[in-house]
A and B are shown apart, each in its own frame.
Chain A
Amino acid sequence: MKNLRLIVLPALGGLAVTGILVRAGQTAQPQVKRPLVIELGAGGRVPLRVIGDRYPTFSGISMDVESDEVVLTDENRTSILTYGRLFQGTDRVIEPRREIMGPESMVGRTCSVAISPEFQELYAVNKDIEDNMIVFPLSATGNVAPARELRTDHGGWGVSLDRKHDEIVITTQHNNKVAVFSRSAKGEDPELRYIQGPKTGLASPQGVHVDGEQGEIYVANHGHWRHTEPGEGRLKEPASVLALSTGKYLPASITVYSRTASGDVAPLRAIRGPRTRLNWPEGIYLDTDSGQLAVANSTDNSVLFFDRNADGNVPPLRVIQGPATGLANPVNLFVDTMRDEIWVTNYEDHSATVYSRMAEGNIAPIRAIRSAPKGAPASGMGGTSSLVYDPKRKEILVPN
């Protein structure tokens, strides 16, 4: 080694050069310090253990009542599944008739879906990764591109179609907004109008239902509120000024607006308060025959029903809840007035359960679509953004 000498140079070029080995009489050649590379997966290290859920977890639901098909969105595997409406009551897994899935499809964490029988289309809202609504023909299957994509604000959640006025309504939980688009909107098309601002009472809005006949929009709110300026969204960035915080906790609520409301407007009515039993309400659907609003009350595993004209701190007219119901973190629902049924998706049970439209109490479902064997645990993970280890309990904590 006596012919070698070490020369230390500052960083050069694209990679750091920490030293150059030079043999006496030779031209110096940089020796790039390369990282220790560890390969995982094929040809590399394999995992010791895996935590995951290989089955679909249902979130959004809608129905083509004329073709007897129900469409369910799967946030776990990121797919859109179509099943027949009628099937034998069984605890076995039911295979879908069609499945839209794959990178071409752009199907992400689709939390809500709506259907247009007239235009034979489905509208699925991807929440806070893709930030869009994708539209497919009802007959679509496989890894197919959507017919069109509409860009939405960050954190879209609910979607509802106004068939009478050919409009589509989308909620965004991150900026407390209800946006109304033309049904055929695509790309960066702006809203026709929106409801947003401090007077609206919108607070982490989730599910939405628009009644084009009566001219009202119903919104389920978790109650987590911060000030948002009217218009805030993808086309108008919020202020970046370090200012006084505005956040606060409001009671969970159902807020009601005129279909044509625009801007920072107060709700016509608001169902909120301890008697309502609202606790993380998510999907909402108006049963136009009974005049009742059905609400998927996710945290206490119940479905609540309110009169559509209810206002204030009122108890629900009836409740589906109890161990016989099979409700497990209910997310969305659909009322089939033609067959007197109500459908509910259960995020933590790989199931969509069906009840009589006027069911009440601790009642077993008439039948259920299962995407996994009964009792198969759902991981509950959805959009994991960090992990942390608790050494005291030797547990992994997974925020979603």
Chain B
Amino acid sequence: MSRTNHVIAVDTVHDELVVANPFAEALLFFRGGADGEEAPVRVIQGPKTMLGYTDNVGVDPQHDEVFVAQSRTNAILVFDREAGGDVAPKRIIRGPKTGLDSARNVAVDPVNNYLAVSNRGARNVLIFNRTDEGDVAPKAILGGPKTGMGIYMVVLDSKTRNIIVPSGSLSPQTNRDVGFIRVWKYGDNGEEAPPRILVRGIKSSGPIIALIPETKNVWIEGGKRPDSLNLYHLPELFE
């Protein structure tokens, strides 16, 4: 792992963790309970992978695939989850129709065949079919420049069919970080489609979240100075 680790994906089916190392351009697979200076169980790395400064990963344990967004090349690469070594992606989404613009992160819903991409440049979220390939237009676009969203991550909930997007910006009025969570439903579309739920009052310009379905609680980043995590009860996000 590098000194910069932006995303960890949890594969609950195979009990693995997946981490991208942007500096060594590698995808590292660890056992679920990995601890300390433990070696990965396998590594995807090499010229054929086309990994380039890749810092994020999403895992689909049902179809045995891993997805990465590449911000510099505006591409989504899909690999066989069980692959190791120097392997080529099995699919690539890339091209002018895709709308990819500094693609920052991915989320995959293997049940409903959704693939969501947080698009930092265009400040929106692109929704694709999970199996899309090539220069394909997204089937939905949410958010956009007018929202002022600074987007870092997106979460798909296959059970509720929620698209959960934490985002934020620096308030010019107060010169303070302000963060939001916007929740759309599958099927919502359009840059001006209002979210179903808007959570506000987050003290971070780039909030990050983790959903705890058992308790309907959500861990939300409480700020970066210092780093803190706050646990809130937000049952509305699980409906």
Contact = CB atoms under 8 A, between A and B. Distances in A.
Interface of A: 11, 13-16, 32-42, 44-45, 47-54, 76-78, 103, 108, 128-129, 155, 173-174, 203-204, 206, 222, 224-226, 238, 240-249, 280, 299, 379, 381-393, 396-400
Contacts, number: 233
Interface centre among A41, A45, A47, A391 (most CB of B within 10 A): A47
Nearest to B188: A16
B50 A245 contact: yes
Contacts of B214: 391
B199 to A, nearest CB: 5
Interface residues of B, number: 85
Interface centre among A15, A78, A385 (most CB of B within 10 A): A385
B230 to A, nearest CB: 4
B12 A392 contact: yes
A387 B208 contact: yes
Contacts of A37: 197-200
Among all A-B residue pairs, the 8 with the closest Cβ atoms: A247-B25, A52-B228, A224-B23, A40-B201, A387-B210, A47-B230, A381-B227, A244-B47
A245 B227 contact: no
B3 A245 contact: no
Interface string B207-239: 011111110010111101111111111101000
Given A52-B228, A387-B221, A128 B23 contact: no
B114 interface: no
B72 interface: yes
Nearest to B228: A52
A243 B52 contact: yes
A203 B56 CA distance: 20
A52 B229 contact: yes
A40 B15 CA distance: 34
A174 B4 contact: yes
Contacts of B153: 386
B123 interface: no
A50 B2 contact: no
Contact of A103 (B175, B209, B228): B175
B236 to A, nearest CB: 6
A400 B227 CA distance: 10
B92 to A, nearest CB: 8
A38 B236 contact: yes
Contact of B229 (A32, A38, A299, A398): A398
Contacts of B231: 47-50
B7 to A, nearest CB: 5
Interface centre among B70, B206, B230 (most CB of A within 10 A): B230
B222 A47 contact: yes
Contacts of A38: 197-200, 234, 236
Given A41-B202, A48-B217, 18 more contacts: A14-B146, A15-B192, A35-B197, A36-B196, A36-B236, A37-B197, A37-B199, A38-B197, A52-B228, A54-B226, A77-B225, A204-B2, A204-B24, A242-B94, A243-B52, A247-B26, A386-B105, A396-B229
Contacts of B219: 387, 389, 396
A245 B51 contact: yes
A331 B70 CA distance: 30
Interface string B6-45: 1111101001010101111110000011000100000001
Contacts of A51: 228-229
Contacts of B19: 399
Given A128-B4, A173-B4, A382 B50 contact: no
A397 B1 CA distance: 14
27 contacts: A11-B190, A13-B192, A35-B182, A35-B195, A37-B200, A38-B197, A39-B200, A40-B202, A40-B220, A45-B232, A48-B233, A50-B222, A77-B226, A108-B225, A128-B4, A240-B74, A245-B25, A245-B45, A245-B48, A249-B24, A249-B45, A299-B37, A382-B227, A385-B7, A389-B212, A391-B12, A397-B8
Contacts of A44: 201
A53 B227 contact: yes
B222 A52 contact: yes
Contact of B3 (A103, A222, A248): A222
Nearest to A13: B192
Contact of B17 (A14, A128, A397): A397
Nearest to A32: B194
A246 B26 CA distance: 10
A35 B198 contact: yes
B224 A384 contact: yes
B152 interface: yes
B5 interface: yes
B10 A247 contact: no
B25 A226 contact: yes
B111 interface: no
B73 interface: yes
A203 B17 CA distance: 25
Contacts of A393: 32-33
